[in-house]
Amino acid sequence: MADPLLTFTDDGIFCPIGDFHIDPWRPVPRALITHGHADHARSGHGMYLATQNAAPVMRHRLGDITLETVRYGEERTLNGVTVSYHPAGHVPGSAQIRVAHKGEVWVVSGDYKIEDDGLSEPFEPIKCHAFITECTFGLPVFKWQPQREIAAELNAWWAENAAQGRNTILGAYALGKAQRLLSLLNPDIGPILTHGAVENTNAILRAQGVRLPDTVLVTPDLNPKDHPGALIVAPPSALGTQWARRFRPLSDGFASGWMALRGVRRRRAADRGFVMSDHADWAGLNTAIAATGAERIFVTHGYTSIFRRWLEDQGYEAQIVETAYEGENLDTAEGAA
Ligand SMILES: [Zn+2]
Ligand SMILES: [Zn+2]
């Protein structure tokens, strides 16, 4: 039998015919990168290929790398293998990578979500024979609310805190979730403050034309009294620290897909948990997989055994592959930008 179009090696997903890797976790000569999160875009590769929209964040994170860019849908040929990048709807600039050779098509989805968040290029289903998918939230209990409902709850909580003389702090990873939350806030309620890690990514995305509300960077000499009723967006690691305590009285909240699990909400002990993720929920995974028309599905991380069994029951040929991707992690959370 001929080599499969993509194989799974100790370095990452590899195309033997095209001689390139996709989102490799060890240094390789040629790396095609789906998006800028740290578990997908790592340092040390010889050359990188990513979307134009993912490039600024990657350069910021990885420094002086040899990076070529493509537009969504633009085709490149690598050793006779055609590759193209298509929106994944996960974070701004994120892509699924389509790999085609002699009529056979495979798609590596990277991380993705189906709902249009208004910031990321909306997910596009791509027809293929084999589809490589995460299943971070591959259980029926993971069912996301529409974004506008989350926005209403978020703003009501903030307004209530402000009316009670409390500040509000939201933990969100610096690339993607933070900007998505910012875009949902109603700036009429009060001032919006940001942690440096979040503001760095904001600046990069604003320069690319992503529209975000006005924010004030929290500097060491910022006086919280000058910003009553503020909402502060910070990486999850900043919550509960000295950095955050200066804003007391304070109500804190998290936004994560994991907030769908009661046990996680309890352990987290935040005042509010919003169920919101940049990954597909159960229905989203199933919709995306069905839309590809693929008969072979590879599941990479999350509830892989349960999800594989489910897919087999649906008539797919499903396999689990071990990767170093992290999914949505509550604490370190999707690679600081
Ligand atoms: Zn990601
Ligand atoms: Zn990931």
CATH number where 171 lies: 3.40.50.10890
Residue 14 counted as domain residue: yes
| Cα radius of gyration (the chain) | 20
Assigned domain for 154 exists: yes
Q: Are residues 24 and 169 in the same domain?
A: no
Q: Which domain range does residue 193 map to? A: 147-274
Q: State whether 157 and 233 are in the same domain.
A: yes
- Average pLDDT, integer, range 158-170: 98
pLDDT in tens, 214-251: 999 999 999 999 999 999 999 988 988 999 999 999 99
What b/e readout covers 154-189, taking b as 16+ CB neighbours within 10 angstroms?
bbebbbebbeeebbbbbbbbbbbbbbbbbbbbbeeb
Tell me which of 274, 301, 327 is where a domain ends: 274
Instruction: Read off the pLDDT of each residue in 174-203 and give the average, rounded to a whole number.
Output: 96
> Looking at the structure, do residues 42 and 187 belong to the same domain, yes or no?
no
What pLDDT does 327 receive? 80
Quick one: 247 and 286 in the same domain? no
C-alpha of residue 151 to centroid of ligand 1, in Å: 22
Collapsed DSSP state (helix, strand, coil) of residue 320: strand
Mean pLDDT value across the chain:
94
How far does residue 334's CA lie from ligand 1's centre (Å)? 6
pLDDT in tens, 47-73: 999 999 999 999 999 999 999 999 999
Within-domain flag for 1: no
Distance 178 CA to ligand 1 centre (A): 13
Q: What percent of the chain has pLDDT over 90?
A: 87
Instruction: State residue 331's pLDDT score.
Output: 56
Let me know whether 262 and 283 are in one domain. Answer: no
Domain count, the chain: 2
pLDDT tens-place string over residues 82-116: 999 999 999 999 999 999 999 999 999 999 999 99
Structural tokens at position 13: 């997903």
Asked whether residue 193 is domain-assigned, the answer is yes
* Ligand 2 centroid distance, CA of 329 (Å): 9
Q: Mean pLDDT, to the nearest integer, of 310-336? A: 81
Q: What does the alpha-carbon distance between residue 112 and residue 122 come to, in Å, rounded to a whole number?
A: 10
Question: Does residue 290 sit in the same domain as residue 261?
Answer: no
Integer angstrom CA distances of residue 270 from 43, 141, 168, 235: 34, 21, 11, 14
Q: What distance in angstroms lies between residue 301's CA and the mean position of ligand 2's atoms? A: 9
Q: Which of 274, 302, 320 is the last residue of a domain?
A: 274
Q: What pLDDT does 335 receive?
A: 41
CA distance 102 to 81: 8
**Residue 2 domain-assigned (yes or no):** no
- Output the pLDDT for position 1: 59
Residue 319 lies in a domain: yes
End position of a domain, from candidates 228, 246, 274: 274
Query: Does residue 95 form part of some domain?
Result: yes
Whether residue 177 lies inside any domain: the answer is: yes
Residue 333 has pLDDT above 50, yes or no: no
Q: Which helix (H) or strand (E) holds 252?
A: strand 250-255
Going from the Cα of 111 to the center of ligand 2, the distance in angstroms, rounded, reads 5
Ligand at shortest distance from the CA of 88 = 1
User: What pLDDT does residue 336 have?
Assistant: 35
Q: Are 121 and 135 contained in the same domain? A: yes
pLDDT-above-70 percentage for the chain: 97
**The pLDDT value given to residue 279:** 96
Q: In the chain, helix, strand, coil percent, each to 5?
A: 25, 25, 50
Of 88, 117, 336, the closest CA to residue 235 belongs to: 336
Compute, in angstroms, the gap from residue 279 CA to the centroid of ligand 1: 8
User: Based on the domain organization, do 317 and 202 belong to the same domain?
Assistant: no
Residues 60 and 86 in one domain: yes
Q: How far is the centre of ligand 1, averaged over its atoms, from the C-alpha of 296 (Å)?
A: 23
Distance 333 CA to ligand 2 centre (A): 9
Whether the per-residue pLDDT at 337 is higher than 60: the answer is no
Q: Is residue 328 domain-shared with residue 239, that is, in the same domain?
A: no
Distance 80 CA to ligand 2 centre (A): 28
For the stretch 246-302, pLDDT in tens is: 999 999 999 999 999 988 877 777 889 999 999 999 999 999 999 999 999 999 989
Residues 14 and 134 in one domain: yes
- Is there a single domain that holds both residue 166 and residue 115? no
**Secondary element (H or E) of residue 203:** helix 196-207
Distance 90 CA to ligand 1 centre (A): 7
Q: What is the CATH number of the domain that holds 122?
A: 3.60.15.10
Decide which of 208 and 336 is more confident: 208
